[in-house]
Amino acid sequence: MAKRSFRNLLPKDVAVRVSVLTLTGNLLLTAFKLLAGLYGGSGAMVADAVHSASDVCTTVLVLIGVRISARQADESHPYGHERLECLVSLALALALFAVGGGIGWKGIRTLLFATEQPSPTALALIAALVSIAVKEVMYRCTIRAAEKAPSASLSLRADAWHHRSDALSSVGSLAGIGGAMLGFPRADSLAAVILSAVVIVVAFGICRDTLRRLVDRSAPEELIEQLRETVLAQEGVCSVDLLRTRLFGSRVDVDLEISVRADLPLVVSHEIAERVRAAVCACPSVKLCTVHVNPAP
């Protein structure tokens, strides 16, 4: 059997493959940073290793979410399972809140009650540099996968930002380790407080976007206009009387009312409605489309 390239994989396969790759990378990176922190004498790097370990848990959540949301509709869930992906995304956002809050609180405590600690070695500095590079690559790969897999884009984007938060944490570790080696032991804690604020802001954005999708918010205006133009371009459509959208997980449900000539046979009107439905459903963002036909005045 011929091997499929990353570009030719199905959306669900893309999400699963990138999640498995990042899961493996996080396990190796966690072990490396933990050893570097212990043998390099850096408490910041040990904390950074714990942060990487949390990424392992969130990637497992993404894999579970992708599997569940990709299930076909059934009698109990006639509209599919995609909204369950919002719950995974929300869990990842809460994990980011916890990670950001934990890093910030630790940094504040160290700033206020710092005690003299031995200067870390170059091994911890190297581990921080490796971590920044690897986590940035993971972020970019996961964001690319989110663009290729609309059905899992919410949880993948949240996981991608979790990778970037780890990279930012490693930047703080790098600054702190470098500062400690240069004689400024509080540099690590100050960088941690600043970067924790960045992580919390990102988590808030993910949480807000996820909650909007859970309360049947309408699609972005540019997508609505694109759908309207698509409908009007179909032969036989006189006007668009109603176009309503609602976000359903990572995708969109569309309710349409169109006008066609009143003197057309029922079969012809039905064919026009089917062409409209097919054209709208051809948009990757659309999950379902319902078309109602009105006689043109």
93 exposed, middle or buried (CB, 10 Å; 0-12, 13-18, 19+)? buried
Q: What is the pLDDT, as a whole number, of residue 4? A: 42
Q: Please, what is the average pLDDT of the chain?
A: 78
Query: Looking at residues 146-174, what average pLDDT do you find?
Result: 74
Q: What is the pLDDT, as a whole number, of residue 122? A: 81
Helix (H, G, I), strand (E, B) or coil at 257: strand
Q: Is the pLDDT of residue 8 over 50?
A: no
Q: What is the CB neighbour count within 10 angstroms for residue 76? A: 6
> Quick check: 218 and 268 in contact, CB under 8 A?
no
Per-residue pLDDT tens over the stretch 10-68: 455 677 778 788 888 888 888 888 888 788 776 667 767 776 776 777 677 777 766 76
User: Distance (Å, rounded) from C-alpha 143 to C-alpha 296?
Assistant: 45
Instruction: Check residues 64 and 105 and name the one with the higher pLDDT.
Output: 105
> Quick check: 254 and 290 in contact, CB under 8 A?
yes
Query: Looking at residues 131-135, what average pLDDT do you find?
Result: 87
Residue 284 token pair: 């990757």
As a whole number of Å, the end-to-end CA separation of the chain is: 58
Q: What is the pLDDT, as a whole number, of residue 74? A: 67
Residue 59 token pair: 């990637």
